[in-house]
Amino acid sequence: MLRNVTDAWGISDGYHGTDGQWHETPPETRRALRAVLGDPDAAPPAWCVSAGDTARLWSPCVIRLEDGTETGPLESIPDNLPIGYHDLVPLNGGPVTFLVVAPRRAPDAPDAWGVAAQLYSLRSGGSQGIGDLGDLGALLRWAAPAGAGAVLLSPLHAPSPVLPQQDSPYYPSSRLWWNPLHLRVPGLPEDASGSLIDRNHVWRMKRSALQSWFISSAVGDSWGRWVEAQGEPLRLYSVWCALAERYGNNWREWPEEFRRPDSPAVTDFDREDFDVQFHSWCQWLVSRQLTGAKRSAPDVHLIGDLAVGFDASGADAWRYQDQLALDWRVGAPPDMFTPDGQDWGLPPFNPIALRSQRFQPFVETVRAALRGFAGLRIDHVMGLFRLWWVPPGASPRDGAYVQQPSDVLVGILRLEAHRAGAFLAGEDLGTVGEGVRDTLQASGILGTKVAWFEQDPPTRWPRQCLATLTTHDLPTVAAVWQGRDGDRAMADRLTSLTHAPAGSLAEDVVLSMHHLLARSPALLRLATLEDLCASVERPNVPGTVVEHPNWCRRLPVRIEDLDRRPLVRASTQAFREARRD
């Protein structure tokens, strides 16, 4: 088998496909990638070391610490450097190295069971057309007495404020800020009816009500202090929202003077603009309501979700445009499930340009994703190691893997998680490069196990993982058992695990699977709310749009009614009884 190597730009020579064959990187793709990536020697070097480690330096240096103080001259990295973002300044005048000193491991995850929830899908007696932070509070108030110790949420990332609203929480305008659709707005009518969500209708209603609330409210000093503390990232996001409402949600089609965030026109636009203040205020409201929801059950660990990327037309792309390959897309090569490969429509960060900015876009993104959460799930965590880049106008078949500066990226994750006091879990499903899982485990980042993909039963899974039966992209247990989703292999898997005879009720099979999951050695054991409700509809069917209304389905059961369902009561009892000392 050929060895997978990369060139000076980090472009892979090829990859081993799920067909067992070696697939060479097309020469034209390599040439195009080198052109867009630029000179690999143009950016200053970066280096990550673990706290307490020592290493000999290539020349005497002064270390400029994150707080501005200096230490040295030194010929070796000392073992007492504080964690943080520092500079190695050579005394001979060479390039300054960005030095990340990170904890050896992220904080430990709790030993707990819990639920995975699509926030938008929640509904209660107080719902307003979409699952919101009021519903989250209700879910947490249900989870705590049920014995759950964790709740994993779908991403709260912000979409564009312009219609039509984006349905997928994994295709945001910004990963730095929150979706105001999830605000509970006083005075709006309650609406928990219907099986599908109309985000456009909900946003029209909430946008108008929020504006009236903003105009009439005595905002007070707390909002101003909070906005000031958020600094430049919030100012630019709020400016982008205000501009998008005037000129559309694709910043590359705006008037020229607004297409760069550092332009004088953008600075002038910001001054005392009502819409800019309004969008900042909405983010403050989300922060307050999220905090209020968590107070409903302070002992339940709330876990956030970090999407792979963002819309090339959106706020983060506008903010970070100089560090992105805007016309390229992230995706996946062909495999047995998707023979044409995948194009996710997300622009990749240029790793060379990212290094030139001391990885600040990544630091800001991770810091924002951890804000307000006790833990963070990282979608497609393999993207920290390599990403499949699809050329402009080409097929995913024509793509190539580009290596990422994984040592620095994983170190930043550990550092930011330590500062936030939060644990980390990575979605490492599918084709995983050599050494990835070893690196994650050494860093204290949980991997992910899903029943559909594992040969062993949940009772034999490793301890250092987040364990679940399915995901938002995969069939529910009830749907597979009833033959309404999935394939024969999945149905056979259920039979082999549960020994359920043909004709068994789907609820009985789901309960048997929850018994197995509850007894897993895995640190985190999460049941999806869809499985707890024996739903046959999964949140997302990848690659479909019209046939399946993805990311729009509401749960068939209100939160207040969960305990009235025998399957829910029996499943939570199974988890409680399997709790380990």
Distances from the Cα of 501 to the Cα of 95, 491, 494, 509, angstroms: 68, 12, 10, 10
Give residue 546's pLDDT. Answer: 54
Q: Shortest CA distance to 416 belongs to which of 465, 349, 467, 359?
A: 359
How do the domains of the chain map onto residue ranges? Answer: 52-102, 157-299+311-319
Question: Residues near 208 by Cβ (< 8 Å), separated by ≥ 6?
Answer: none
For residue 344, the SS3 value is: strand
Least confident of 110-114, 131-135, 188-192: 188-192
Q: What is the pLDDT of residues 320-347, one digit of tens each?
A: 999 999 999 999 888 776 788 889 999 9
Percent of the chain with pLDDT over 70: 97
> Is residue 471 scored above 60 in pLDDT?
yes
With contact defined as beta carbons under 8 Å apart, do 354 and 39 qualify?
no
One-letter amino acid at 560 equals: E
Q: What are the DSSP calls for 109-162, one per residue?
A: PP-EEEEEE-GGG---TT-BSS--HHHHHHHHHHHHHHT--EEEE---EE--SS
Quick one: average pLDDT of 88-103? 94
381/527 Cα distance (integer angstroms): 21
416/52 Cα distance (integer angstroms): 17
207/334 Cα distance (integer angstroms): 42
Alpha helices of 189-263 — where are they, by DSSP H? Answer: 199-216, 220-230, 232-247
Residue 547's pLDDT band (cuts 50, 70, 90)? low
CB under 8 A, 24+ apart: contacts of 25-34: 25/400, 25/401, 26/398, 26/400, 28/398, 29/391, 29/394, 29/398, 29/399, 29/400, 30/400, 32/391, 33/9, 33/389, 33/391, 33/400, 33/402, 34/9
- What's the angle, vertex CA 381, arms to CA 320 and CA 170, rounded to 5? 60
Residue written as tokens 């965030």? 261
Quick one: tokens of 26?
């097309």
Q: pTM of the full predicted structure? A: 0.95
Question: Residues near 348 by Cβ (< 8 Å), separated by ≥ 6?
Answer: 309, 324, 325, 328, 329, 330, 387, 389, 402
User: Omega of the bond prior to 186 within 30 degrees of 0, cis?
Assistant: no
For residue 257, the SS3 value is: helix
Q: Angle, nearest 10°, between helix axes 199-216 and 274-295?
A: 100
Give residue 576's pLDDT. Answer: 95
Q: What is the pLDDT of residues 477-486, one digit of tens each?
A: 999 999 999 9
Q: What are the DSSP calls for 11-46, one per residue?
A: BBSEEE-TTS-EEEPPHHHHHHHHHHH--TTSSPPE
Give residue 219's pLDDT. Answer: 65
Quick one: average pLDDT of 91-117? 95
Residue 364's pLDDT band (cuts 50, 70, 90)? very high
> Is residue 18 scored above 90 in pLDDT?
no
569/537 Cα distance (integer angstroms): 21
Quick one: average pLDDT of 92-118? 96
> Is residue 273 scored above 90 in pLDDT?
no
Residue 495's pLDDT band (cuts 50, 70, 90)? very high
Residue 562's pLDDT band (cuts 50, 70, 90)? very high
Give residue 580's pLDDT. Answer: 52
310/319 Cα distance (integer angstroms): 12
Least confident of 52-61, 158-167, 567-576: 52-61
- What's the angle, vertex CA 391, arms to CA 244 and CA 307, rounded to 5? 50
More confident residue, 567 or 219: 567
Residue 1's pLDDT band (cuts 50, 70, 90)? very low
Give residue 216's pLDDT. Answer: 84
**Buried b or exposed e, range 265-279, using 16+ CB within 10 angstroms:** ebeebeeeeebbbbb
Distances from the Cα of 101 to the Cα of 66, 77, 92, 227, 441, angstroms: 10, 10, 23, 29, 19
Give residue 581's pLDDT. Answer: 41
More confident residue, 158 or 92: 158
Quick one: tokens of 523?
């640190």
312/303 Cα distance (integer angstroms): 26
Q: Shortest CA distance to 4 belongs to which of 30, 18, 23, 32?
A: 23
Average pLDDT score over the chain: 93
With contact defined as beta carbons under 8 Å apart, do 138 and 119 qualify?
no
Backbone phi, psi, residue 384, to 5°: -75, -10
Q: Output the 3-class SS for 400-440.
A: EEEECCHHHHHHHHHHHHHHHCCEEEECCCCCCCCCHHHHH
Residue 270's pLDDT band (cuts 50, 70, 90)? confident
Q: Shortest CA distance to 281 belongs to which of 240, 232, 222, 233?
A: 222
Q: What is the pLDDT of residues 430-464, one digit of tens each?
A: 777 778 999 999 999 999 999 999 999 999 999 99
336 exposure class (CB count in 10 Å sphere: 0-12, 13-18, 19+): exposed
Quick one: average pLDDT of 116-129? 95
